[in-house]
Structure 1
Amino acid sequence: MSDGRKVRLIGVNTPELGRDGRPNEPYAQAARGWLRQYADRQQVHLLPGVEPRDRYGRLLAHLYLPDGRLAAEELVRSGLGFALAVGRNNGLADCLFAAESETRLKRERLWRQSPIAAADVSRAGFAVVRGRVTRMTATRRGLYVDLDDHLALFLPQVLANEVRGQNWRKGQFLEARGWVIDRLRRQGRLSVGQQRWLLKVTQKYHLQSH
């Protein structure tokens, strides 16, 4: 923003620009260029979310372009971002995921490389993953679902209860999206049976069964 405040767009996750010696993620420059083309130095409208700020203090808002289009929807439809539903800022999730499905079917841009196989996960960060269920472990906190004996999904209890009627089974394919955590790096060692890679699923929109 012109006054120096940073805004995090609700409903979309775009590729990360490189920093600290790391390269740009694929299509990161294209996503930034798209946003600059349509929103930089123009009269746009910001609609703050139900949850107005993230943990970094950034303003969470829907960004409407001068012609009335929703920036998050256009980025998703262009294959330059992944649809997301975070916290209580999920009022437009149905719209965003519908827009994403159009580009996904065409395998354009980001969808040329996604989803990735759960067995191929090798770094932390945002990912859309797909794999076979190899183990399910219910705990008091929620449900752990191992994919390809390599990556674990964690569903908090509320979400686990919501999907319980789907009767998942070993060998079934699941797809999930979110931020992958490297447990080995965080903890220093793994407990018996723990997968190194963990993805916390926080919304029903972020999980699909096949």
Structure 2
Amino acid sequence: MKIFIPKLKNSWLLWILLLSLFSVEAAIYEWTDAEGVTHYSDRPHPDAKEIQVKVDNPSHHEYEVESVHDGDTIRLKGGEKVRLLGINTPEIESRFRSAEPGGDEARDWLKFQLEGKKITLEFDKEKRDHYQRLLAHIFTLDGTHINLRLVEEGLAIVSLIPPNFKYSSQLTQAQNKAEATKLGIWNMAAYTPQPITKLAAEKYEKGWQRYWGTPAKIKQTQKYSYLVFNKNIDIRIPQKQLSYFDPLENYLEKKIEVRGWVNRRQNHYSILVNHPSSLKII
């Protein structure tokens, strides 16, 4: 790359703008020609002096972790809350809900890794959620991807919500490995897959769960595609996310597992699925 900016009074400011596109430490060469005009370039020039400039990309600023709320939410020094992208950990006990198995373990692990330490944040398509929390992938200063490590340890499940699909393949691969080796929540009785037909017969769990069943047909609406198990139970996939999935016909008459949260409306039960990581043939 050759950049040459002659005869600009504010060329130094322009260099700063250019460098701010990157997180780099770069050499810039400055010289003044016979007419008294100052020049800057990234290439050496006779009589030029070298200026070392380092400009940080704003998305790689360092932040200090003040506290860890639970396995997927932290507070930065200064008060900002950060929700870890691409994952979900079981709930801890609060005045609004009971603790879920694995919630305390995920929180304690995250505390050990982050509390009082400095981190960097990497954002995706959306920077904040409807609670105004920052949405980010968290990295320690040695480059450890905390979101990914939680999944690798079996402390978190992959929960990909559009349009934030960054690192989806890495997270999904880590989850497959943790599940295969029965780490963390993948070895807990509370998350053993249950027949999906039990939803209409028994009181269902309100948290993240795993269900298995055999879909009988596909239904389409303008907003969703549905894998229908019976008149009371289905899986719904947003039409705009359908391209991420195999053809839905591939799931018909096969035993599949769906992972997610059950939504109940009167006697109808539905599970929203945004990404293939939450749906698989078994």
Q: Shorter-normalised TM-score: what interval?
A: 0.7 to 0.9
1:92 to 158, 167, 180: 167
Deviation at 1:124, TM superposition (A): 2.7
Deviation at 1:148, TM superposition (A): 6.8
1:161-200 alignment runs, 5 A limit: 163=245, 165-168=247-250, 170-184=252-266, 190=267, 196-200=268-272
2:193 partner amino acid: I
Deviation at 1:136, TM superposition (A): 2.8
Q: Give the number of the structure whose alpha-carbon radius of gyration is greater.
A: 2
1:40-189 alignment runs, 5 A limit: 40-112=115-187, 113=189, 114=191, 116-117=193-194, 118-121=196-199, 122-147=204-229, 151-160=233-242, 163=245, 165-168=247-250, 170-184=252-266
State the superposition RMSD in angstroms: 2.3
Give me the whole-angstrom Cα distance separating, in 1, the residues matched to 2:197 and 2:83.
31
Cα deviation code 1:91-144 (max 9, x no counterpart): 201001111111100122211244522234413332333222134322233222
The 1:53/1:23 distance shift into structure 2, 3 A limit, reads: same
Give me the whole-angstrom Cα distance separating, in 2, the residues matched to 1:106 and 1:2.
37
Report percent identity of matched pairs: 25
Matched, 1:31 2:106: yes
Give me the whole-angstrom Cα distance separating, in 1, the residues matched to 2:93 and 2:229.
29
Give me the whole-angstrom Cα distance separating, in 1, the residues matched to 2:139 and 2:165.
16
Contact 1:84 1:93 in 2 (8 A): no
How many pairs are equivalent? 200
Structure 2: state its 5+ residue gaps. 1-75
The 1:162/1:107 distance shift into structure 2, 3 A limit, reads: closer
Which residue matches 1:193? Answer: none
TM-score, with length taken from structure 2: 0.64
Contact 2:215 2:253 in 1 (8 A): yes
Structure 1: state its 5+ residue gaps. 185-189, 191-195
SS at the partner of 2:261?
strand
